[in-house]
Amino acid sequence: MRILPIFIPHLGCPFNCIYCNQKLITKTMQPDLELIEQQISEFCNLPDATGEIAFFGGTFTALSRKDQQTYFDLVFPYLSMISGIRISTRPDFISQNVLQFCAENSVTTIELGVQSFLDEVLIASGRGYTSEKAIESCQMIKSSSFQLGIQLMPGLLGFSRISLNTSINKTIELKPDFVRIYPTVILKDTSLHQMYKDGSYTPLTIDEAIEISAEMKEAFEQNNIKVIKIGLHSDIDFNNIVAGPYHESFGELVQAEILLHNIINDYSNKTLTISPTDISLFKGFGGKMLLKLKNSVGLDKIGICIDPGTKKGTFLFTDSQPDYYW
């Protein structure tokens, strides 16, 4: 399903969490309503434009009803051409009254920036709500027949194995329709930036973030929960990232890590057969995945067969003659 993302930076949000600088993330301050209307029109006139118009970046349901209605009204002329409207918001700005207003205005999907289901992490990050409220809001959204998305941020201040397990288990219990995983990065001019400078906060390394994100993705997908995004979107200005596990191809690195885990767990001293679409996972990123695989199984070279009939992200060990030795 196609999604047209419309970013309304920090609008509506009364908080300034320690990691947040929405001005940097979305590169603009005040949305241009004429430009938004033009984007919606162009999107809806694309062939098979049956997706959603999505308002991201701020806390949509914390906007005044008048402002919310202004954005909804931009979409209304095109409702027959799309499947609905998607919004992102915070757990503490969800209520039955809010959900009723959303339903009346053709909202179909609500993404909640939960970030963590452990109170200690939420308090340390200045989120302003409890895990109990986050759980309640997720349940209200589900019971009101909206699609529910949960956004999680491993690596926040106070992050631990306990907080990771809690967030994974609670998310699985809540059964959202999808999840986004955003490992914490440090942006300029945030409280987290100052904590990093004074040594009171240490971000995840890129390898730690990859392993943690891979664990989360595998756990969710094993429970039929889609993971639709891992890592910040790539149009953020890299110069505004001070530190942390940011990589333009972070999602691919996580997918490569999952594939590597599975290959090592099922390793057989035969020819490794992979899809041609996965060659870049093995050969790219400086050959790091291939090196880790060879080190794990104690070989200098591994016989590889490239099979177009093998599904992307899967593999087989066969008796086929290798096409290559990598």
The 10s digit of each residue's pLDDT in 203-234 is: 999 999 999 999 999 999 999 999 999 998 65
Give the closest residue to 108 by CA, choosing from 131, 139, 90, 82.
82
Instruction: Name which of 203, 285, 198, 200 is nearest 242 in CA terms.
Output: 203
Element (H, E) at 291: helix 288-297
Q: Are the CB atoms for 22 and 9 separated by under 8 Å?
A: yes
Q: What is the pLDDT of residue 12?
A: 57
Per-residue pLDDT at 48 = 74
CA distance from start to end of the chain: 37
What confidence score (pLDDT) does residue 138 get?
A: 99
Q: For residue range 71-127, list pLDDT tens digits in order.
A: 999 999 999 999 999 999 999 999 999 999 999 999 999 999 999 999 999 999 999
Q: What is the CATH architecture assignment of 3-248?
A: Alpha-Beta Barrel (3.20)
pLDDT of residue 240: 86
User: For the chain, which residues score pLDDT lower than 70?
Assistant: 9-14, 22-30, 49, 233-237
CA-to-CA separations, 99 to 9, 87, 139, 215, in angstroms, rounded: 22, 11, 12, 32
Given a contact cutoff of 8 angstroms between Cβ atoms, the answer to whether 195 and 201 are in contact is yes
Give the pLDDT confidence score for residue 29 in this predicted structure. Answer: 58
Q: What are residue 272's DSSP bridge partners?
A: 304, 317
pLDDT at 274: 94
- pLDDT number for residue 224: 98
How much is the pLDDT for 163?
A: 98
95 — phi, psi (to 5°)? -150, 170
* Domain extent listing, the chain: 3-248, 255-325
Say what the pLDDT of residue 124 is.
95
Residue 219's pLDDT is: 98
pLDDT of residue 31: 80
DSSP code, position 275: -
Helix (H, G, I), strand (E, B) or coil at 171: helix
> Is residue 153 a contact partner of residue 184, using CB atoms and an 8 Å limit?
yes
